[in-house]
Chains A and B, each alone.
Chain A
Amino acid sequence: MALETQDRAARLADPVPVAVRLRPPEREGLAERFGPSDPSPGLDLLRHPLVARLVRNRKFQFLLILPNQIVFWTVIFVGLLGTAVPGLNFGAAITWYVWFCLVFVMMVVVGRAWCAMCPFGGFAEWIQRRTLFQRTQKTLGLGRKFPEPLARLGFLIPVVSFLLLTWIEEFFNIAGPGNPAATSFMVIGIVGTALAFFLVFERRTFCRYICPLTSLIGTVGSMGTVAGFRTRDREVCLTCKTKDCMRGGTDGFGCPWYTWPGSADSNLYCGLCSECYKSCPEDNVGLFLQKPLTSVVAPRRRRADVAWAITLLWGLVLYQQINATTAYASVENWMNRNLHFPHYPNPVDYLGVIGLGALATAGVVRGIAALLARRDVELSRPGSFADSSSRFRAYFLPVSYGLIPVVGADYFARQLPKFFQHSARVVPAAAHIFGFSSSSSPIYSFSLATNSWIVVIQIAVVALGTLAAAWSTWRITGRELVSISRSGLGVRLATLGLVLGCGAVAAVLYLIMHAAD
């Protein structure tokens, strides 16, 4: 035939791409934007064939969720039907003595490991997807988008829902733990809310915008050593024609967390569900490790909602510490009497202390900004809550990220007494389901450490957290604040001072709390 090979192939080719003339994607500033936060290719766990096979398997996340699912349904049933003695009730015991502490450890070490195995979202997602693990095409429910004005608030809704849940939990003394049935109701409440959101909205709207835990896991989790699922080669992603990792492909769903591996710069919003890895047709997604604190220090984009979330969480843990002191108990009693509120925690001082803690922190930063910002640098840009920038924000956002380790350590330290004193109770509590053992069992009262040791450990944890925060803040200040401040050294010392101050407050409060005991 006279025809050239190429001509023939062209005739048989799909004519659509010929008419598609996409604009070239923007590549400017990529290195600057993602350079600091991109993990090193060597730390990609999915380069190991065995790990890759495991994670590629569609049952991977199902198998992570399943044991937790079993535990939590047990918690619900045992909490409702089992003994009313909290320490002997498996539901209450495992939730408050062990689970909460484990979640903290996972947060600090990994990031959103809990989200990958979470039975609340996991259960609701099974129903939303109508499957336990298969890639289905049709979902159940309305699939609405989360309303834009609310979505703009980002992390603020989860932090408010965390404050609310904590208040409820303190009011009914759920985590004490008190009546085990209260624990069941709380878990049922969370699962029910999750289910409702999964059925009304698309993807993991609940996890991203509502879940009380997400604010804590997202912020504290950024200390973790797992960077999450990220692109292996950003250039491939930029020219990718399908974006299956976002839209869902043959083998995987679109990212339920609204995260694109191509632009993720921290582990904040990667739920480690592995769907993007499964759906990417280019095999361009890896699961990367990173140095601890990378997601605190490195991201170039700081978010106002996250910053406020951190300071509010800081306020909350301060409140919990303060009200465990003797001095505060009398203040609280006096308030309840005068405001005719039945008992602790009085919402006025609850919100008051939290708000004060947050505002005081912000106030100090504001002072630093006022004192040290260079006048010749333009820092203000009007915009919505999420987008606008100002002199205050230029300082507040990076500095509050720097506080994450101290806030995280404080939360962690607060869980330690329950863990050390009572975690052993899980064993008799488990046996009690089957009718063995009682509170007289020696394991029941076995404590892993004495009270004074616990305080020492708590203070050590806070000190470690403060050290990590100091290091992070030093780095962040150097990268982001020195260039916009009048005095480099001045701003470094000021931010460092803030961190050390926060650490000192937390440590001193533990000492006072111990004295109160």
Chain B
Amino acid sequence: MTIREMSAPVAPTHLDVRVLTDRCAGCQECVIRCPTGALSMDTGHWVALADSDLCVGCRQCVRTCPFSAVVVDGPILVAPRVEARLAHPASLLGDVSEIRSGITGWAEALAEAGRCLQCPDPTCVRGCPAHNDIPGFIAAIRARDLEGAHEVLRRTSVLPDICSRVCNQSAQCEGSCSWSLAGGTPVAIGALERFVADMLPVPPPAPAAPTGELSVGIIGSGPGAAGAAWELLEAGASVTVYEKDAVPGGLCNWGIPDFTLPEAVAARPWHQLASAGVDLRCGTEIRPEDLEQLLETHDAVIAACGAGMPLRLSLPGAELDGVTDATTFLQAAKATLGDGMDAAAFRAAFGLAEDPGAPGRPVPRVLVLGAGNTAMDVARSARRLGLEATCVDWLDERFALTRPDELAEARYEGVEVHFLRTLTALRGKDGRVFGAELARTTQAAADRRPTVVAGDPEVLGIDLVVMAMGYRVDPAFTGALPGTPVRRATSGVADRSWSASGILASPASAFADHLPVGTLALGREIGLWSASLPVTERLWAVGDALIGPATVVEAMAQGRRAAAAVLDAGPARPARPTRPDGDGSSRQRRVLVCYESAGGRTARAADAIAGGFSERGDQVRVLPIARVGLAELAAADVVVVGSWVEGFVVAGVRPAKAMRAWLAGLPRLGGKAVGVFCTFAVAPKGALPAMRQALEARGAVVLGEASFGPRELGKRAEASGAAAFGRELARRSTTKATARVLVE
């Protein structure tokens, strides 16, 4: 059976794929990516050859051909998507059962799995923040091998049951699915992922025998913490988790209502982690000022403290009674709904005296500010507590950050959602809020701020206002974690293999709510790689603490990445007893020499310095700075940075422009050992100190600096001067302890 028959049982119609033989250069980019084998090579002419009969119209060839030499005409040949069913309860009041019931049977799962093309260069994987091997686990489903599917998922995720429920797939994996990029309906990846976890519980962590050596403290117990703890535990580290609440889970626990994420699912990871040996200390709040002490107790600390502070608007009437925030509301709602439903007590707590259903009295109305995830959760919880709920958001519905499925469900449940409205003032009586003034707005494009339209405000009678625009990180923590929040915006040339995959080529399909999924995914990469670099020595940050409000899957992936970086770096607290064979030195050190060279002299100096390191058996990479990204920095134990010096003889002498720009864009390099050098014609002047400062400002530890003038760089002296510097750096960086002494 061909893929075409498998994924589209309907008889194909006039689908035509043609290669423009004049322009086709035979590079095979399309051939190696076509999922169906419809493209092959005409080896005589060395151009691609298309077979329309095998084509399914996924347009991957069109997206990936560098010379736009393929044309596909005709429909997208894929069977209709198996939509997961919704289970709306007969009566909402007090009901917290899960609304989405997912794919329930093998027949449906296999049908949906059959829609997957098993793309050779799967864009869905790039779109998934955790980079789950989606075709891999779907192939396992097809083979009815649930264990295999878990095995594949486990390589990148520890929360498949949770992510598959709370991810906004339309902006992530499903938005980036080939079918979606081609304008069709993507494979229901989230539903399939959930199917795996529903059918066979996520296997618990398999902890390695603890060696008792590496001890890591994790602040918080949200998804980032879970990812990190899991990874560390399985590597044999001893893990201590400090959670300020009485129950672990962070936002997954109190912030996401049960009808989206059932409590049993949310609690699963911490049950498993605690029984596998994580030292879970609930009710222990870590303040920023406690960090120092924590770093003395542990070899490494991962800050996964989350964003728990609700955003509040300041506007006339905000101080009135009956104005609250999402955290307070959701926590109370969760407690009430999960706990025998004492709705009267709940209403009393929020000053809503009226008894719903009593004749002649209106049902209390909650005004929810915002229409994002949090707002939907608030409004839907309110409906379950017997209240009316209205959401207002100043964005246009087309550009809003709401999950489309969630919005539809909320509306079904009777939530009124108004877009293009903004709250201008609250009206009160006797100190209690009773009305809201709403103005209309317009928004021209997704990246434009909405503007208020002049006119009389509408007045809405309300009894409670919940500010649910989202959360922010405790500013005290942001201050203690330098360099955060990291901005997830790319600049310059995008990662080349991403461009080659075609994910950036059609940025906005209807299914993905016209979001540029590729660009968003590339932005997330910055967060992911940043998580592997410590913010200060032995201190890592993940999730909200690193990038500001983050999604569950992003936090989890960053947690895993930070844990991997901790394991890789093998940090040690000063008081830790050392082992005879040393710890960080048990593997070959990786050195990165990066340079900005104009005439080739700096490049040659870089080579010579690299030679100094390799003599000691280090593994050295020499790269121009244009090719040094976060991944390269993350993988290096020692970084040497060199530049030529620009300026006129002695005036305006400084590091080359490209180097200055690169230094300015550097992430945190907390505690990373670095060396600095420059090459000059007349005098280096302030170039070295400038580079040193830029690096130290990012937390790097400078081991040494050197400048090489024309004499040192002369044909023969060059090698010796720079190589000697390399050898010296190599010697100084042999142990981190020495490095510290040198700097003091």
Please give, as numbers and ranges, the residues of chain A lying within 8 Å of B235 by CB-CB distance.
Answer: 1-3
| A265→B18 CA distance, assembly (Å) | 23
**B33 and A22 within 8 A (CB):** yes
Residue from A19, A241, A305 with most neighbouring chain B CB atoms (10 Å): A19
Pick the interface stretch among A103-111, A248-256, A442-450: A248-256
Q: A241-B497, A249-B496, A250-B626 are in contact. Are A19 and B133 (CB under 8 A)?
A: yes
Contact among A2, A237, A250 with B211 in the assembled complex (CB-CB below 8 Å) = A2
Contact of B499 (CB < 8 Å), options: A11, A247, A259: A247
Contacts of B133 in A (CB 8 A): 15, 18-19
> Does A440 have its Cβ within 8 Å of any Cβ on chain B?
no
- Flag if A152 contacts B22 (CB, 8 Å): yes
**A17-B501 Cα distance, complex, nearest whole Å:** 11
Least distance between A442 CB and chain B CB atoms (Å): 49
Whether the pair A19, B568 counts as a contact (CB closer than 8 A) is no
Residues of A within 8 A of B46 (CB): 33-34, 263, 265, 301
Indicate if B68 sits at the interface (CB-CB under 8 A).
yes
A386 within 8 A of B: yes
Interface size on B, residues (CB 8 A): 73
Residues of A within 8 A of B493 (CB): 137, 248-250
Interface string of A145-168 (1 = CB under 8 A from B): 100100111100000000000000
**B29 to chain A: which residues have CB within 8 Å?**
243, 246
Chain A 256-299, CB-CB to B under 8 Å as 1, else 0, gives 00111011110000000000000001000000000000000000
Which residues 20-54 in A have Cβ within 8 Å of B in the complex?
20-26, 28-30, 33-34, 49, 53
Asked if B214 and A12 sit within 8 Å, CB to CB, the answer is no
Partner of B568, one of A11, A24, A30, A258: A11
Q: Tell which of A17, A25, A28, A243 has the most Cβ of chain B within 10 Å.
A: A243
> CA A178 – CA B723 in complex, angstroms?
68
Contacts A2-B208, A8-B587, A242-B496; A151 near B22 (Cβ below 8 A):
yes
What chain A residues lie within 8 Å of B34 (beta carbons)? 23
Question: Is the CB–CB distance between A260 and B26 below 8 Å?
Answer: yes
The answer to whether the Cβ of A14 comes within 8 Å of any Cβ in the partner chain is yes
B213 within 8 A of A: yes
**Would you give the 0/1 interface string for A192-223, flagging 1 where the beta carbon is closer than 8 Å to chain B?**
00000000001000000000000000000000
Minimum CB–CB distance for A365 against chain B, Å: 21
Q: Which of A34, A300, A387 contacts B21 (CB 8 A)?
A: A387
B131 and A263 contact, CB distance less than 8 A: no
Interface string of A63-93 (1 = CB under 8 A from B): 0000000000000000000000000000000
Interface centre among B40, B120, B500, B563 (most CB of A within 10 A): B500
Q: Which of B22, B25, B31, B626 has the most CB of A within 10 A?
A: B22
Q: Which residues of A contact B208 (CB under 8 A)?
A: 2-3
Against A, the Cβ 8 Å flags (1 = close, 0 = not) of B362-398 are 0000000000000000000000000000000000000
**Interface residue B600 (Cβ < 8 Å from any Cβ of A):** yes
In chain B, what residue has the closest Cβ to A135?
B493
Does A244 lie at the interface of the complex (its beta carbon under 8 Å from any beta carbon of B)? Answer: yes
CB distance from B120 to the nearest CB of A (A): 5
Could you say which residues of chain B place their CB within 8 Å of the CB of A34?
A: 46
What is the bound-complex CA distance between A65 and B40, given in angstroms? 40
Give the residue name and chain of the A residue nearest to B18 (CB): A148
From residue B96, how far is it (CB to closest CB) to chain A in Å? 35
- The answer on a CB contact under 8 Å between B31 and A263 is no
**Nearest CB in chain B: distance from A213 CB, A:** 19
Residue picked from B68, B130, B561, most chain A C-beta under 10 Å: B68
Knowing A20-B122, A26-B31, A281-B627, the reply to whether A241 touches B496 (Cβ < 8 A) is yes
Q: Is A338 an interface residue (CB 8 A)?
A: no
CB nearest neighbor in B for A2: B236
B265 part of interface (Cβ distance < 8 Å):
no
- In the complex where A1-B211, A1-B213, A2-B211 touch, is A9 in contact with B568 (Cβ < 8 A)? yes
CB of B448 within 8 A of chain A? no
Enumerate chain B residues within 8 angstroms of A148, measured Cβ to Cβ. Answer: 18, 20, 71
Contact with A along B319-351 (1 / 0, CB 8 A): 000000000000000000000000000000000
Asked if residues B66 and A25 are in contact (CB atoms below 8 Å), the reply is no
B274 at interface, CB cutoff 8 A: no
Contact status B28-A16, CB under 8 Å: no
B115, chain A: closest CB distance, angstroms: 18
Q: A12-B532, A15-B131, A20-B121 are in contact. Are A244 and B496 (CB under 8 A)?
A: yes
A21 x B120 contact (CB < 8 A): yes
Asked whether A5 and B155 contact (CB < 8 A) given A242-B500, A243-B500, the answer is no
Nearest A residue (CB) for B236: A2
Residues of A within 8 A of B209 (CB): 2
Query: Is A1 a contact partner of B583 (Cβ separation < 8 A)?
Result: yes
Query: Is B45 touching A301 in the complex (CB atoms < 8 A)?
Result: yes
CB distance from A457 to the nearest CB of B (A): 38
Whether the pair B627, A25 counts as a contact (CB closer than 8 A) is no
Q: Which residues on B sit within 8 Å (CB–CB) of A246?
A: 25, 27, 29, 66-67
Q: Which residues of A sit under 8 angstroms from B126, Cβ to Cβ?
A: 16
B32 interface hit (Cβ, 8 Å)? yes
B459 within 8 A of A: no
- Within 483-509 of B, Cβ neighbours of A (below 8 Å) are at 492-493, 496-497, 499-501
CB distance from A294 to the nearest CB of B (A): 17
Question: Which A residues are CB-close (under 8 A) to B236?
Answer: 1-3
Tell me if A329 counts as interface (CB < 8 A to partner B). no
Q: Are A1's CB and B568's CB within 8 A? A: no
- Is there a chain B Cβ closer than 8 Å to A140's Cβ? no
**Nearest Cβ in chain A — how far from B377, in angstroms?**
30
- Rounded to whole angstroms, the CA-CA distance of A264 and B68 in the bound complex is 17
Instruction: Give the docked Cα–Cα distance between A154 and B568 (Å).
Output: 55
Name the contact of B40 in the complex, choosing from A26, A259, A300, A303 (C-beta under 8 A): A26
Contact B500 A247 (CB under 8 A): yes
Interface centre among A5, A8, A145, A303, by most chain B C-beta atoms within 10 angstroms, is: A8
Please give me the residue from chain B that is nearest to A302 by CB atom.
B45
Residues of A within 8 Å of B532, CB to CB, are 12
How distant is the Cα of A8 from the Cα of B588 in the complex, in angstroms? 12
- B66: chain A residues at CB < 8 Å are 243, 246-247, 254, 260
Per the bound structure, the CA–CA distance linking A8 and B600 in Å amounts to 35
The answer to whether B161 has its CB under 8 Å from any CB of chain A is no
Are A12's CB and B583's CB within 8 A?
no
Per the bound structure, the CA–CA distance linking A25 and B43 in Å amounts to 11
**Which of the residues B33, B125, B492, B497 comes within 8 Å of A19, measured between beta carbons?**
B125
Q: In this complex, which of B213, B532, B564 has the most chain A Cβ atoms within 10 angstroms of its Cβ? A: B564
Known: A1-B214, A8-B587, A12-B565. A26 touches B492 (CB 8 A): no
Cross-chain contact B22 with A305 (CB below 8 angstroms): yes
Contacts A19-B136, A20-B122 hold; do A238 and B28 have CB atoms under 8 A apart? yes
Measured CA separation A24–B28 after assembly (Å): 10
When distances are taken between beta carbons in the complex, the residues of chain A under 8 Å from B40 are 26
| B135 in the interface (beta carbon within 8 A) | yes
A274 to chain B: closest CB distance in Å? 17
Q: Among B41, B67, B68, B568, point to the contact of A12 (Cβ < 8 A).
A: B568
Q: A1-B214, A15-B130 are in contact. List 16 more A-B contacts (CB 8 A).
A: A2-B209, A2-B211, A9-B568, A22-B121, A23-B120, A33-B44, A151-B20, A151-B22, A152-B20, A241-B497, A242-B497, A243-B66, A254-B66, A263-B25, A301-B46, A386-B22
Q: List 12 A-B contacts (CB under 8 A).
A: A1-B567, A8-B587, A9-B568, A16-B126, A23-B33, A23-B37, A243-B500, A258-B67, A259-B25, A260-B66, A262-B25, A263-B27
- Give 3 closest A-B pairs by Cβ, nearest first: A246-B66, A260-B25, A29-B43
Interface on A for B, CB 8 Å cutoff?
1-3, 5, 8-9, 11-12, 14-26, 28-30, 33-34, 49, 53, 137, 145, 148, 151-154, 202, 237-238, 241-244, 246-251, 254, 258-260, 262-265, 281, 300-301, 303, 305, 384, 386-387
Please report B residues at the A interface, Cβ cutoff 8 Å: 18, 20-23, 25-29, 31-34, 37, 40-41, 43-46, 66-69, 71, 120-122, 125-126, 130-131, 133-136, 155-156, 208-209, 211, 213-214, 231, 235-236, 492-493, 496-497, 499-501, 532, 561, 563-565, 567-568, 570, 583, 586-588, 599-600, 626-627, 631, 634-635
